[in-house]
Structure 1
Amino acid sequence: MALKAMLFLFTTFLVFTATVSSKDEELKEVTYVKEPEPAQPPAKVPVYAPPPPVKTPPSQSPPKAPAYAPPPPVNTPPSQSPPPKAPAPVPPVEPPTSPPLPPVKSKQDCIPRCDQRCQLHNRKRVCMRACMTCCDRCKCVPPGTFGNREKCGKCYTEMTTHGNKYKCP
């Protein structure tokens, strides 16, 4: 149905343009004579001349570079450098001691600690679920967002999943 409507509109358009174009041909028979306009002189365009070349006096020619000659050998005694000094002893670096973690008494104590531990994890719900389980069983959550697992002891570091991967984040 839409094709028939489009075809009808197209034929109507063709008939209308054919009628208008035939009337244009009748109007072309009448011609109007246009009087020529007086010619205007062309506007002057400023022409810029290139700057004159700089002339150098012929008596002064650039000096020629001398051919390469190695410098004359100098007879000096070899310089003696002082013996190298031993590096200063470095005191042993002690790991920063953090205050002992307060004990976890209930599952409610685990929530803010696990939230802090898992805040940067890309799968936060999975991390929170594992952390809550580890916190409930071991009564500890390590500080920071990653690492420091040894701070919570053997229970936290050795807990594994069924696939033998570490469970606690």
Structure 2
Amino acid sequence: MKLVVVQCCIIFLLLTSSFFVPSTADSSCGGKCNVRCSKASQHEECIKDCNICCEKCNNCVPSGTFGNKDECPCYRDLKNSKGGPKCP
């Protein structure tokens, strides 16, 4: 009986461990970018771009969901390939 319980626990841990995928972004960037992109219509693209900008700008992400880019000049000044703003 104890062996069955132990086996079930091991199987459960193995199955649930696949849900804990480490984030590629720094955790401080991830939290800030989740807030920044919380109202974005293209949420996944916003998160991706925000994390790139955050990492390049030493974890600086403007507060709020829009605007306030003067808080992080590096974030504000990054440009995409077309010369437009890179960071959401």
TM bin (shorter chain): 0.5 to 0.7
Normalising by the residue count of structure 2, what TM-score does the alignment of the two structures yield?
0.68
Deviant stretches of 4+, over 2 Å: none
Q: Choose which of 135, 148, 152 in structure 1 pairs with 2:68.
A: 148
Q: Choose which of 36, 59, 63 in structure 2 pairs with 1:117.
A: 36
1:108: how far off?
Answer: 1.5
Normalising by the residue count of structure 1, what TM-score does the alignment of the two structures yield?
0.36
- Runs of at least 5 residues in structure 1 that lack an aligned partner in the other structure: 1-105
Give the number of the structure whose alpha-carbon radius of gyration is greater. Answer: 1
| C-alpha distance in 1 between matches for 2:69 and 2:50 | 12
Q: Choose which of 40, 45, 60 in structure 2 pairs with 1:126.
A: 45
Aligned-residue RMSD, C-alpha: 1.2
Deviations 1:102-146 (A, max 9, x none): xxxx81210011000000000001100110000000020100000
Aligned equivalent of 2:77: 158
Identity value in percent = 37
Deviations 1:27-82 (A, max 9, x none): xxxxxxxxxxxxxxxxxxxxxxxxxxxxxxxxxxxxxxxxxxxxxxxxxxxxxxxx
Aligned equivalent of 1:87: none
Higher share of residues assigned helix: 2
Q: How many residues align?
A: 63
Kindly provide the amino acid, as one letter, of the partner of residue 121 in structure 1.
A
| C-alpha distance in 2 between matches for 1:156 and 1:114 | 12
Aligned equivalent of 2:86: 167
- Runs of at least 5 residues in structure 2 that lack an aligned partner in the other structure: 1-24
Superposed, 1:1-169 pairs within 5 Å as: 107-139=26-58, 140-153=60-73, 155-169=74-88
Aligned equivalent of 1:57: none
State the structure with bigger RCO (CA 8 A, min sep 6), 1 or 2.
2
